[in-house]
Structure 1
C-alpha cells in the first residue's frame, strides 16, 4: 500500500484530556500502530534531564531529540532497551517537556521520527499537532477536550495510582499554565485541525469516547 494511502486517525487535545487512553483503545480495536507524540517530548525531556543538558540551549536539546531510540509496545514505552513509561510521567519531566515542545528546533528534530510511525495497516496518532501539522491529510481527525477541573481530577488519580504524590491546587495551576503555553506558542499551537470532530469528554466514560471515535472513523 502506498505510504500516503495508509489510514491515519489523529487525536489531538490538551494535557490530561484522556486522549492517550482513547488512542490506545482505538488502536487496539483496529489493530493499528500507535504514536504517542507527547511521549516523544517527554522522552526528550527525560534524556536531557539525565544528561544535564542546558534547558536554554535549543540546539543541544534538538540533538537529544534527533538521537532518541523509541519503541511503543502494548502500552509500554521504551527508551533504548529501558522501559520508561512511569519515569516520563513524573511532573518534572512533564513540565520540562511542555517547555521544550515550544522550541522550533526540537519540533523539527522530531518531525521525521513521527512520520515514520505511519505503517500498515494504519496509525492512531495522539498529541497536540497531529491533525494540524504532522498528518494534515489524515482520514479522521479528532480534537478531544475536557474541562480543566475534570482533567485535574484525572491527572490526580493517575499520579496517585502510580505512587506519585499530588496536590489538586498545584495540578490545576499547572494544567492552566500548560494550556496557555500550548495554545499561545508561535510554532504549531494547540488548535483543532480543519475538519476535526470535537469531543468533550468531561462527562463521558472512556468506552463512550472510544465508541464515538470508532464511529467517526467508520464513516470517514
Structure 2
C-alpha cells in the first residue's frame, strides 16, 4: 500500500507521516528533505539557487545518508528548497527516486507537496494535511528555538505565507489537494489526535476496498 501525505509545511504532516508509517510497518520518506538537501548543497558551495543545471547535478549526487543532517531543518534551507523545487529539471531528476521508493515492499508513506498529484497519483490513500498559517508559524518557531536557533514568529509567518504562495502558483507540480484526497485539518489537534485521525482515514479506505 502507498499512502500519500500532502499539504503545507509546518502543518504537522511530517511527524504524522512518520508515525503512520511506524504504525503500519511501512517505510517513510519525507520528500521535502530531498529538495532541502539539494538546496543545502547549493548554499554551501555558493551556487545561485536558480542555476538549474548545477541544481540538477546536485540532485543526481544526493547521498541518502545526508538526509539526517540537522542543517537541513533550518529556516534558510527551507526557503531555499522552495526555490529549488520550482525548477522543472530538478523535479524531473528526483521523480524516479521517489517513485522507486514508493514501489518497494512492504508499503510506503511519502509526505511532501505533490505526492498525491504527481509522484504517486494512484496512491491507495491520499491525505491532505492543513493547519492555520499562524499556528504553523508558532509550531515552526518553537521547533527552531528548541534547536537553539533564534526565530521571530512574525518573520516565520511571513516566510510561510510567501512559500505557500510560491508553491501554489508554480508552473510545475503546484501545491494543491488531489480530488480524491481526504482533508485533515489539524489546527486544533495534537500529534496523537492527528495520527489517530489519519489512521481512521486509512482504515476507512481499506474497509471500503474490502467491501467491493
What's the TM-score bracket when you normalise by the shorter of the two chains? over 0.9
Give the root-mean-square deviation of aligned CA atoms: 1.1
**SS of aligned partner of 1:144:** strand
Give the one of 155, 163, 167 matched to 1:182: 167
* 1:141 and 2:135 correspond: no
Q: Is the 8 A contact 1:63 1:109 kept in 2?
A: no
Q: TM-score, normalised by structure 1?
A: 0.90
The corresponding residue for 1:20 is: 14
User: Is it true that 1:40 corresponds to 2:34 in the alignment?
Assistant: yes
Runs of 4+ in structure 1 deviating by more than 3 angstroms, as ranges, are none
Structure 2 distance, partners of 1:36, 1:174, is: 20
The answer on whether the counterparts of 2:50 and 2:87 sit within 8 Å (CA) in structure 1 is: no
Q: Which runs of structure 2 are paired with 1:9-158 in the superposition (5 Å)?
A: 9-70=3-64, 78-79=65-66, 83-84=68-69, 86-118=70-102, 119-158=104-143
- Helix, strand or coil for the counterpart of 2:129? strand
Task: Give the count of matched residue pairs.
Answer: 204
For structure 2, the residue ranges without an aligned partner over 5 or more in a row are 206-212
Q: Distance in 2 between matches of 1:219 and 1:43?
A: 35
Using the size of structure 2 for normalisation, the TM-score is 0.93
Deviation at 1:116, TM superposition (A): 1.8
Q: Which has the higher helix share?
A: 2
- Counterparts of 2:8 and 2:68, CA distance in 1: 25
